[in-house]
Chain A
Amino acid sequence: MSTETSTATATATTAPRTEPAATLLRVENLHTVFEKDDGVVHAVNDVSFDVRRGEVLAIVGESGSGKSITAMSLLRLIPSPPGQIIGGRVLFDGQDLLDLPDDAIRQLRGRDISMIFQEPMTSLNPSLRIGRQLAEPLRVHGSVPKDKVRERCIELLRQVRIGDPEKRLDAYPHELSGGMRQRVMIAMGLACLPRLIIADEPTTALDVTVQAQILELLRDITRASQSSMMLITHDLGVVARYADRINVMYAGRIVERGTAHDIFHRPRHPYTVGLMESMPRLNDAIGNRLTPIPGSPPDLSDPPSGCPFHPRCRFAQPRCKQERPPLERLDEEHWKACWVNLDDTH
């Protein structure tokens, strides 16, 4: 693994390094595997990206693409066994999170980096009042004096636009609607003013009108606090609206990276092109036929040789079967992992 054996314990928060000022989190060659009955699954394979200060970075992919595993690997939340991070570095403020002792990473979770999950129903303890659960991160990290905790909780609920926050503190999770619960989860995530929020499908379980409320709220809050957000989702509509930059994942690898404009208007990887063509949109012509991507995603315990997308790719060439294309820079922000040079006409 990493060669960095720095004094990571004590200086969890203050470690200005030689990082470019804009980068908050840098992931290098992350590799996470799962041991299964029938072999090793390379769920995340050689993934590198960075999150800049104040931006919303999206990771999009279909189920099994490794997007959630990537997020969980960053905070070392991979269930082990059967999972294992077998390589790479996750540099946050210049220190490698994969090298931190357990205590230090626990300290960091929720304080510097917090995570918001998909299911608001199971993420809250049904037998504890909202106030108690909201105060938990504040108590754990001791970031607010004890007598100020309740005040801060009310402030947090107000921030996520929950009406009548004094009363809501004494409510139990089942007394709140799904959207409200997700707001509480966001409030918990925000409690310690994290610098990075990882939102893993934060609205998938919610109705579309509620989804809009929650996502607008999340974006407004991250903007106001100048923190960064990693948005993990399969919903291209959500990505188009909220992301500054986008990583497209397929079969455990990043296949294309670029600004929202790059990805939606100038996609250069056949998979991204395929996604755009197969998706019904509200603004396309009524009655036009969708162009699906043929086949299904590969079995990651037995991935295809060469480019993982080549069996489904209509542009595939003999080379794609033998050699895996590296992620290469096209221009300032735009990267792709493909041997074929696509232009706007495909």
Chain B
Amino acid sequence: MTHTDSHTDVTTPLLQVSGLKVHFPLRPGLFGKPAAMVKAVDGVDFTVHRGETLGLVGESGCGKSTTGLAVLRMTPLTEGRIVFDGEDISHPDAATTKRLRRKMQMVYQDPFGALNPRMRVLDIIGEPLRVHRLTRTRAEYRERVMDLLDRVGLKAEMADRYPHEFSGGQRQRIGIARALAADPSLIICDEPVSALDVSIQAQVINLLEDLQRDLGLTYLFVAHDLAVVRHLCHRIVVMYLGRVVEVADRERLYQAPRHPYTQALLGAIPIADPDPEVQARFNPSVDGEVPSPIDPPPGCPFHPRCPHATDLCRREAPRPLDVEDGHSVACHLHDPSRAAEMNHSEPSYQEQARNIA
């Protein structure tokens, strides 16, 4: 819990998440006990190093956004530990929370909803400065906001306008400037470009890259678009139904995905190139849809859709295992100690179904 000298140590990771679980009551029951729990995040571990971009990807309901909110300490933990800058922030006190609110900032998906329509850009971007009393005089405040506007590629005279006078891409720049205002060490980006058009999306992606290079920022990048993630993120955590299924750096994840879900996900993305050779890589191999996180399947969460599922997968959830340095997969197929069981198992439901058909 020694905060004071911790951030001088550059070798420790900026963020360490271990055994993170976030469960929500679906609705309160009649006598205080919840009728059902949504297991939004159900045992997640990952590490974010200083200066890198870590991608958190998965389809809807995989818990990636909830994980982001839990790291930001905007949602209570059910279980697990979050260490930020050497300090355990799993159960922060008021002073720690206040400090965290400065050191971590968020960029939102919706460029229209994230800015208060009744405030001028000057006061939107400057809000963190006011909240944390980071500037002393009015002139200093204005100057700082002008710097931020310049950083994100907006003109100084835009400071006195209101959000509705801006396009979606410009609004997203304003949101980014606001996130930078308090000089944070971690920025959590929740789908920051998915609401933008392709031509604008590239502007924001480039801006995020430039800011990282110039300011040494660390991003936790929550997204579903794997092409964007491949472009921006150094390492990627693939989530499915509240668990991590694969962690790897981008080269390995996109060239040699190991987990059947990652393979399916990558195979299902239509590539913007009509060339038959490129299209041959398209292989939407999975059927069905993501099950409900209220009642997740036993064993491996992916087994009902997995083409390789066996009895073992139905029975027992796989643990994440390092297959290479920095590449871990949670799948029995890649666990040498389980190879025997995997080979001698019954064929999967899928295969049975296919045989019948």
Residues on A close to B: CB < 8 A?
62-63, 177-180, 207-213, 215-216, 234-243, 260-261, 264-265, 274-283, 286, 289-294, 296-297
Q: List the A residue with the shortest CB-CB distance to B203.
A: A292
**Interface status of B167 (Cβ within 8 A of chain A):** yes
8 contacts between A and B (CB under 8 A): A212-B270, A213-B287, A241-B270, A280-B205, A282-B227, A282-B254, A292-B199, A292-B202
CA distance A142 to B48 in the complex (A): 62
CA distance A222 to B281 in the complex (A): 23
- Whether the Cβ atoms of A210 and B289 lie closer than 8 Å is yes
- Whether the Cβ atoms of B270 and A237 lie closer than 8 Å is yes
Interchain nearest-CB distance for A248 vs B (Å):
12
Closest 7 CB pairs of A and B: A212-B284, A292-B202, A278-B202, A237-B270, A62-B197, A260-B274, A207-B59
Chain A residues with Cβ under 8 A from B100's Cβ? none
Chain B residues with Cβ under 8 A from A292's Cβ? 199-203, 205-206
Contacting chain A: which of B72-80, B260-268, B328-336, B340-348? B260-268
Residues on B close to A: CB < 8 A?
59-60, 167-170, 197-203, 205-206, 209, 224, 226-228, 230-231, 250-251, 254, 264-275, 278-279, 281-282, 284, 286-287, 289-290
- Whether the Cβ atoms of A283 and B271 lie closer than 8 Å is yes
The residue from B205, B230, B264 contacting A282, defined by CB atoms under 8 A apart: B230
- Whether the Cβ atoms of B198 and A62 lie closer than 8 Å is yes
Chain A residues with Cβ under 8 A from B286's Cβ? 209
The residue from B206, B227, B251 contacting A281, defined by CB atoms under 8 A apart: B227
- Whether the Cβ atoms of A282 and B226 lie closer than 8 Å is yes
Q: List the A residue with the shortest CB-CB distance to B251.
A: A286
Interchain nearest-CB distance for B232 vs A (Å):
8
The residue from B205, B268, B269, B282 contacting A290, defined by CB atoms under 8 A apart: B205
Chain B residues with Cβ under 8 A from A234's Cβ? 197-198
- Whether the Cβ atoms of A179 and B273 lie closer than 8 Å is no
Other A-B contacts than A241-B270, A289-B209, A297-B197, 19 sampled, CB-CB below 8 A, are A177-B289, A207-B224, A207-B289, A208-B224, A208-B268, A212-B282, A212-B284, A237-B227, A240-B270, A240-B279, A241-B271, A264-B273, A264-B274, A279-B202, A280-B228, A280-B230, A281-B227, A282-B226, A290-B206
- Whether the Cβ atoms of B272 and A279 lie closer than 8 Å is yes
Interchain nearest-CB distance for B108 vs A (Å):
18
Q: List the B residue with the shortest CB-CB distance to A214.
A: B284
- Whether the Cβ atoms of A283 and B198 lie closer than 8 Å is no
Chain A residues with Cβ under 8 A from B59's Cβ? 207-209
Chain A residues with Cβ under 8 A from B279's Cβ? 240-241
CA distance A260 to B278 in the complex (A): 13
- Whether the Cβ atoms of B227 and A280 lie closer than 8 Å is yes
- Whether the Cβ atoms of B269 and A282 lie closer than 8 Å is yes
Q: List the B residue with the shortest CB-CB distance to A60.
A: B198
CA distance A180 to B271 in the complex (A): 24
- Whether the Cβ atoms of B199 and A293 lie closer than 8 Å is yes
Chain B residues with Cβ under 8 A from A242's Cβ? 270
